[in-house]
Chains A and B, each alone.
Chain A
Amino acid sequence: QSALTQPRSVSGSPGQSVTISCTGTSSDVGGYNYVSWYQQHPGKVPKLLIYDVTKRPSGVSDRFSGSKSGNTASLTISGLQAEDEADYYCCSYAGNLGVFGGGTTLTVL
């Protein structure tokens, strides 16, 4: 199970939208609708943002949305805010356990 591929970094200005991609294979992202996304601030525990590709847990802002096309899933953050600056990780079911992406650092300019 190889890690899913994410861009190392993305950036955006307050109020803008950014999209983070997560590319896998037909054995993980493309094979199941079980993609989740987590936000992690430095020194903190990861926080669930999106599950089952598009679903948001209660309490998570609707500025966060997820989608998937083929072997690539995406997380879009709209109306960027300073507190969105963090690391973001995707995760997909891969037939036995899950597999995470390498992470993307979001910088809010």
Chain B
Amino acid sequence: EVQLVQSGAEVKKPGESLKISCKVSGYDFSSYWLGWVRQKPGKGPEWMGIIYPTDSDTRYSPSFQGQVTISADKSISTAYLQWSSLKASDTAMYYCARRPDSRTWYVDYWGQGTLVTVSS
């Protein structure tokens, strides 16, 4: 069974750093692109970026380039999303999601989400 299990909710202050994780099981982690999606309350999802764990090829949305870092550790089948200096506007739900076919664009499995709250 394919599972994407994300780390728990976080409450941080502006300026703090954060790294959240997405551990996968049930499929070959290295063989599929894995992306990160942001969703603010009452808003549509937004693609942040995506990584191919085999070679760590990473693509970022222009809106998030330079604002976050996406990485992966093949040895533990885990992807990461990190911030070096959080802002209040980073408050949102963050999902990881698997892209099952590199010839097309959609995601089939999602993590349960990690709620990040940034407040002074």
Contacts and interface: CB of A to CB of B under 8 A. Distances in A.
Contacts of A48: 106-108
B45 interface: yes
A34 B105 CA distance: 6
A57 to B, nearest CB: 7
Interface string A63-104: 000000000000000000000000001011100111111110
Interface string B76-120: 000000000000000000010000000011111011110000000
A57 B108 contact: yes
B53 interface: no
A97 B44 contact: no
A3 interface: yes
A36 interface: yes
B62 A1 contact: yes
B100 to A, nearest CB: 9
A9 to B, nearest CB: 13
A7 interface: no
A48 to B, nearest CB: 5
B44 A51 contact: no
Contacts of A32: 105
A45 B50 contact: no
B58 to A, nearest CB: 11
Interface of A: 1, 3, 32, 34, 36, 38, 45-46, 48, 51-52, 57, 89, 91-93, 96-103
Interface of B: 35, 43-47, 49-50, 59-63, 95, 104-108, 110-113
18 contacts: A3-B44, A36-B105, A36-B107, A46-B45, A46-B95, A46-B110, A52-B104, A91-B105, A92-B105, A96-B59, A97-B35, A97-B59, A98-B47, A98-B105, A100-B44, A100-B46, A103-B43, A103-B44
